[in-house]
Amino acid sequence: MRIYDDIQLDYCDVLLRPKRSRLASRSEVDVLREYSFKWCPHPLNATGIIASNMATTGTFEIAREMQKQHLLCALHKHYTAGELISFLEKNKTEFGNNDLLFVSSGVSDADYEKLTAVMDSGLVRNICIDVANGYSPYLISYVHKVRAAWPEALIMAGNVVTGDMCEDLILNGADVIKVGIGPGSVCTTRKLTGVGRPQFSTVIECADAAHGVGGMVCADGGCTVPGDVCKSLCAGADFVMLGGMLAGHEESGGDLCTKYIQTDEVDLLDDKTCALKIEEKQYKTFYGMSSAFAQEKHYGGMKKYRASEGKLVQIPFRGPIEPTLLALLGGIRSCMTYIGAKRLKDMPKCATFYRVNRQLNTIFGNE
Ligand code: 5GP
């Protein structure tokens, strides 16, 4: 039995070391990066945060808000080709192009047919090919087929967690490799299968391998706060994909519901008696794309040979997404000034990490 002895780290296991810097203020840093790719000949100007192609975060509404901040969105694959095309037409009028949007595809024949219909519209260039297990032979052959069909497309494919597989996928036509198995906020793969790898170490190894052959990586899953996104970018991620951090907003998918919560406070009444204090709180559903709920909702039931590898949660409603995005960008800018990185691309080269036992003081709660 072979056991890898190297310590495998998550975002919570490290902190960034501040450095003497010539940057006096956050306004001096540039969070926009000009990306150029191995296969896709078209450069992209963006801050590499991508809304996950989950049904609750890869929505048209989130896509609009992301683009306003020069961020990206992978539209989910449960929209029909017609819905995607009419959105892409409108979006192009509003933003001038669809450069910050990905259309998503699985690897089945039906997925290819739909992808062809959308790509043939000429409205979009970026494709996110997404399977839970990127080690399946279908992924590499599908990437190959998509590259042959659309030589100028920007192809992102995943998910894997090892350098060798990143290299294979890039050499077969992918520009960006989506890395992460099991770190997601509503993912239960690790619980069910025992498979996965801590995300920080995944990003370091995969970025190194991908960059070595001219490709890039997108760190997918496991970010819980803006600081995790900063650590990911510093570890070498060219893009970071977010699900949970963008869920629960006005623009997110999922049903809104009201709950009445009993607090640990009481109301003192005029007659000096007390009444329980009940708070009305709104929640929005958020679910993993391989959860039993998603399989029921989007595929009309769960196949017998499949197990649920995701969960359904109700998270407190967070209102409009814009303040969340601005806080995220503010966090990245501030991180850049702490470590002396003037450009987003410089973050890994400016970063040094401490391995830590405890990163947050939670005496007054986790907020
Ligand atoms: P988060 O940002 O919420 O931590 O992670 C988002 C990522 O979790 C998604 O982009 C996707 O890769 C992954 N994910 C989404 N749904 C599921 C699921 O049902 N099962 C698993 N294993 N991963 C999921």
SS3 string, 246-299, reads HCCCCCCCCCEEEEEEEEEEEEECCCCCEEEEEEEEEEEEEECCCCHHHHHHHH
Q: Which atom of ligand 1 is nearest to the CA of 294?
A: 19
Does residue 105 belong to any structural domain of this protein?
yes
Cα–Cα distances in angstroms (integers) from residue 285 to residues 78, 248, 262, in the given order: 17, 7, 20
Q: pLDDT-derived band of residue 23, with 50, 70 and 90 as boundaries?
A: confident
In a domain, 317, yes or no: no
| DSSP class of 343 | B
Predicted confidence (pLDDT) at residue 206 exceeds the cutoff of 90: yes
For residue 278, being part of any structural domain is answered with: no
Over range 109-125, report the average pLDDT: 98
Rounded Cα–Cα distance for residues 143 and 4 (Å): 30
Domain membership of residue 109 (yes or no) is yes
Return the minimum-mean-pLDDT range out of 9-23, 54-68, 147-161, 207-221.
Answer: 9-23
Residue 24's pLDDT is what?
Answer: 78
CATH no. for residue 167? Answer: 3.20.20.70
Judge if the upstream peptide bond of residue 159 is cis by omega within 30 degrees of 0. Answer: yes
How many separate domains does the chain show?
1
Identify the pLDDT of residue 13: 98
Domain residue limits at 103: 11-252+323-355
In a domain, 300, yes or no: no
Among 52, 156, 309, the mutation site with the greatest number of ligand 1 atoms within 8 A of its Cβ is 52
| Residue of 12, 40, 73, 187 marked active site | 187
Task: Kindly state if the Cβ of 156 falls inside 6 Å of ligand 1.
Answer: no
Residue 209 scores a pLDDT above 90: yes
pTM over 0.95: yes
**Alpha carbon nearest to ligand 1 atom 16, residue:** 288
Average pLDDT over all residues of the chain: 96
Q: Is residue 269 part of a domain?
A: no
What local confidence, expressed as pLDDT, does residue 6 receive? 94
Cβ-contact 256, 236 below 8 angstroms: no
26 pLDDT above the threshold of 90? no
List CB contacts of 174: < 8 A, sequence separation 6 or more: 39, 129, 143, 147, 155, 156, 157, 215
- Distance from the alpha carbon of residue 181 to the mean position of ligand 1, in angstroms: 8
Stretch 137-153: mean pLDDT, rounded?
97
254 contacts 321 by C-beta, under 8 angstroms: no
Nearest protein Cα to ligand 1, atom 24: 187
296 within domain boundaries: no
Give residue 269's region: left, alpha or beta (phi > 0; psi -120 to 50): beta
| Residue 219: strand pairing partners | 179, 240
Q: Which atom of ligand 1 is nearest to the CA of 53?
A: 10
Q: Is residue 174 part of a domain?
A: yes
221 Cα to the center of ligand 1, angstroms: 6
pLDDT of residue 304 exceeding 90, the answer is no
pLDDT higher than 80, residue 146: yes
